[in-house]
Structures are given as structure tokens and as C-alpha cells.
Amino acid sequence: MFAVDPRRTSSAQWADVWLGIDVGSDIALSNTLAREIIHSGLTNREFIDRATTGFDAYAESVEAWTLERGAEVTGVPASTIRELAHAYGSAKTAQLCWTLGITEHHTGTENVLALINLSLLTGHVGRWGSGLTPLRGQNNVQGGGDMGALPNKLPGFKDVEDAEHRARFEATWGAPIPPVTGLHLSLMLEAMEEGTLRSLYVVGENPVQSEADAARATRLVSGLDHLVVQDLFVTATAELADVVLPAAGWGEVEGTYTSSERRVQHASKVMDPPGEARSDIDIMGELARHLGVDWPSQTVEEVWDELRSLSALHGGMSYQRLDRLGGLQWPCPDEDHPGTPILHERLWTDDVGSPAPFSPVEWVPPVDELTDEYPIRLTTGRRLDSFNTGVQSGRYSSPRRIGGSIDLAPEDADRLDVDESQVVRVTSRRGSVEAPVHLDRGLRPGLAFMSVHFPDDVDVNQLTVDAWDPLSGTAEFKATAVRIEKVG
């Protein structure tokens, strides 16, 4: 296992080799690896010819990325980059796994494409033991997208702007569906700013604390005409709401979860929700009836069977089969289908279908530049003991929780003449917060870290930049330029 991470995290400690790259140099690393793989003859020519398009243009696009240039941009020694290239290129099977360190950049989508290019180059995709694995931070992120919780998709990834697809859903649901793509969260905030979005129904999110440039998010959400929040807890967003709908939690509702490997699992209800809390399906059905639409009263299984009739991916996944088989991986179109453990297997069959395109991508540095005024690169992230803005985990104690802090390399702390008993002022181009110092040997000089878990104590998103990836809508949480000053 090679771990690529600016910080030496506990995962990096577990790895055989750690590459401590500069924040935001992911594409530089990928392109350098690609050039080295090509020049060393470690490409999978057979796979490239049969299953991909655009190799020549891609090869040309990475040609400038010599090991030396890669080392200069990423900060990792050329010999170590070469070692990774050869290990990945010559491995019998290899996987690329990633999470927010790749996606929370203004080039998040390009970062992923750069990784896909590597898998196409070496044929490490669509085969047992090889593949591309975006690791999810929650047990049902995949399921949320599958069920259509995306602005441009209906359940089963049917395009909302495709009239034919829409018609099937409209026939089953007995109602028209808006024919245009909706807004993702970053665009919603812009729409609030423009005054075109005046009411918001938030289900299980805490945007006033989780979004970059939190001061702006709070201002916008506070200025809405009407805000409804449906959650297990009274979050900071719920505090601003006109109506709070208490929702039921895990174990209090029946339903399905879908893991990162597309495995759908059936979960039973084991107890009633407390107080007035109700399941999401209950709440939404009741809401519909109050809004004057006569939704039928359906069991959870009936709702699921309706979904199965509309989403071919899920067609064969009866509750009975899910229970018997311990879950099934989509696509699973009918009840005789065993599910699909490997998604892109077709690339290795005679019937390749549409080939996978190489997507040349060029490295651009993070938006928030390092200057003499803002010389420290701040990156944000999560710790094992806490979850996101702390809504779920904050109420439980943990012996290893250190609270909101700014983590510094010991060398930087020495230079600033501060230690763990002290609070420092952290200032970015957008805002300034005070935070207690925590020393982390896993950081090198010039690199600082803050967790996102304690917005009430240290509101890290006052600092982060609201630049976002136009393709995914994800903000560049990972790269902020700051300066750090001793207080008092």
C-alpha cells in the first residue's frame, strides 16, 4: 500500500510507503506517474487498444511531466515517484482508492479523471482485484445518489432532462416532473444570493456549518423567507428554521443502504423512534397530503418495489433476495441476476461497448495562492473521533478528542514561539479565527491542518475559500493560504 497524502496520517503510517505531496499537486503526480509508466513500457497495450480511446493525445499531454518536474511540483523525491509508477504499472492487480483529498479541490473532477487515466493506461480496471474505488464517508452516500438525490438525475441515474425517461416516472408517480436540472448546494447558495431561491427544505444536512465561507452561508440561510429542517438533532441550521421536523434514526426505520461497492442491503426496524420523531417516508407522505396531494399510504417495501419497477439497476433486488443473499450489487436487472461485483467488466469482454476515453488534464495550482502575507498552506479534514460538523458525534465523549485546534509542524511552532498551551490567530483572505495549538509530527513545515468538527469553537470555514469545482459543485476545502500569529 502506497499512501499519497500531504499529512502523515494514521493510514499513511499503515502504508508501506508514504508520499507527502504538496496540497493540490495531485494531477502533477498522476501525470508524472503516467509518463513514467509509458516510458518504461509498463502500459497495458492490449487493453488500451481494445477498450479505450484517445491514448495518443493523452500520452502527448503528459510528455512534459518528467520525474524531475513531478518532483519539483509535488515535493516528493523523483525516485519515490518512480517507485510508485513501477509498482502500480507492474502489479498483477492494483486499486486506486481515494476520498475527499482528491475531490475537495476546485479541480476535483480533473483529479479523478487523472486517476482514471492511470487505470486505463495499465488495465487496472474492470478486473477482479483491480479498480477505482472512491471511499465514501457515510454508509449510504452511494445510495443517496442511486435514489436520485442529485439535481440532474432521477432514481437509477435516469437523466431528468430526457423526456422519455421522465415520462415513465410521471406515469408511475401520476405527476409531472420539472424538465430541467435542479441546483446543487453551491448553486443554491448563489441563487439565495441572487434572491431567486427564497425557501429551503433541508433533510439531514447542516449547511451553515459545513459549507466553505460559513459566514456567507449563515447570512444567506438566515435571509430566506422560509426554512424547514428535517433532522435527528437541532443543528445550527435547524436553530434558524421556521419549522423543524424530528426525524427517526438508524434502527428506528426500515430501508436499504448502499455501500461504496454498490451493494444494497436491507435493514430492519428494531425499535420505535422516540417522542414525535417519524421516519422520512412518513414525514414526506404527510407533507404531501398537507400540500394537497393524495399520496397513497405505502409500506417501505412497497416504495422499494415501486423503485425497482423504475430503476433497471435495482429490478432484481426484492427484499427477500436481499435478505437471503446478504445484499446484492447493482446492476441487478431481474430476479435471476446474481448482481454485478465488477462494474466495468465489459471492457475485457468481446463486447466492449462504448470504449473508455482517456481525458487529458493539466495541473493548475490551488486558487488560494501562498504569498509572503499568507505563507502557510492550511488543509482541512476529519479525525477518527468525530464526524463532520459534530452534529452526530459531538454529544459523545471520546478519550482522544482534542477539540477544535490548529495543528502545526513542530518546526513551525518553534518558529512562531508557541506551544500546545497557547492560542494563535489564523487569518486567511476571507476571515480570521483563534485556535489552540496542537503539534503534529505528521505535518511538515509550512503545512497546517484544522478539523471541521468544532465549528462552534473554531469555525474553520470562516477561512476556507468558496472556489468550487464547476463540474461537481464541491468547494476547495483542502487548500487555503493562511498566516498564523501568536496571540498576546
- Whose cell is 437509477? That residue is 156
Under a CB-based contact definition with an 8 Å cutoff, are residues 23 and 479 in contact? yes
- The runs of H, that is alpha helices, within 311-450 are 319-325, 410-416
Q: How far apart are CA 366 and CA 476, in angstroms?
A: 8
Q: How far apart are CA 226 and CA 221, in angstroms?
A: 9
Strand, helix or coil for residue 45: helix
Q: Between 16 and 276, whose beta carbon lies closer to another protein?
A: 16
Under a CB-based contact definition with an 8 Å cutoff, are residues 432 and 462 in contact? yes
SS (H, E, C) 136-156: CCCCCHHHHHHCCCECCEEHH
Q: What is the closest distance, in whole angstroms, from the C-beta atom of residue 76 to another protein in the complex?
A: 5
Q: How far apart are CA 44 and CA 416, in angstroms?
A: 50
Residue positions counted in the chain: 488
Q: Between 12 and 435, whose beta carbon lies closer to another protein?
A: 12
Q: Between 75 and 143, whose beta carbon lies closer to another protein?
A: 75
Q: What is the closest distance, in whole angstroms, from the C-beta atom of residue 10 to another protein in the complex?
A: 7
Q: What is the closest distance, in whole angstroms, from the C-beta atom of residue 486 to another protein in the complex?
A: 23
What residues line the site for another protein (CB under 8 A)?
1, 8, 10, 12-20, 75-77, 80, 399-400, 409, 441, 443-445
Q: Between 333 and 445, whose beta carbon lies closer to another protein?
A: 445
Q: Between 74 and 103, whose beta carbon lies closer to another protein?
A: 74
Q: What is the closest distance, in whole angstroms, from the C-beta atom of residue 291 to another protein in the complex?
A: 49
Q: What is the closest distance, in whole angstroms, from the C-beta atom of residue 5 to another protein in the complex?
A: 11
Q: What is the closest distance, in whole angstroms, from the C-beta atom of residue 33 to another protein in the complex?
A: 15
Q: What is the closest distance, in whole angstroms, from the C-beta atom of residue 21 to another protein in the complex?
A: 8
Q: How far apart are CA 407 and CA 429, in angstroms?
A: 19
Q: Between 184 and 382, whose beta carbon lies closer to another protein?
A: 382
Instruction: Classify residue 326 as left (phi > 0), alpha (psi -120 to 50) or beta.
Output: left
Q: What is the closest distance, in whole angstroms, from the C-beta atom of residue 436 to another protein in the complex?
A: 17
Q: Between 74 and 237, whose beta carbon lies closer to another protein?
A: 74
Bridge pairing between strands 263-267 and 255-258: antiparallel
Q: Between 409 and 450, whose beta carbon lies closer to another protein?
A: 409
Supply the angle between the helices 163-173 and 300-310 in degrees, to the nearest 10. Answer: 150
Q: Between 320 and 398, whose beta carbon lies closer to another protein?
A: 398
Q: What is the closest distance, in whole angstroms, from the C-beta atom of residue 15 to another protein in the complex?
A: 5
CA atoms within 13 A on the CB side of 50: 14
Burial of 6 (0-12, 13-18, 19+ CB in 10 A): buried
Under a CB-based contact definition with an 8 Å cutoff, are residues 46 and 52 in contact? no
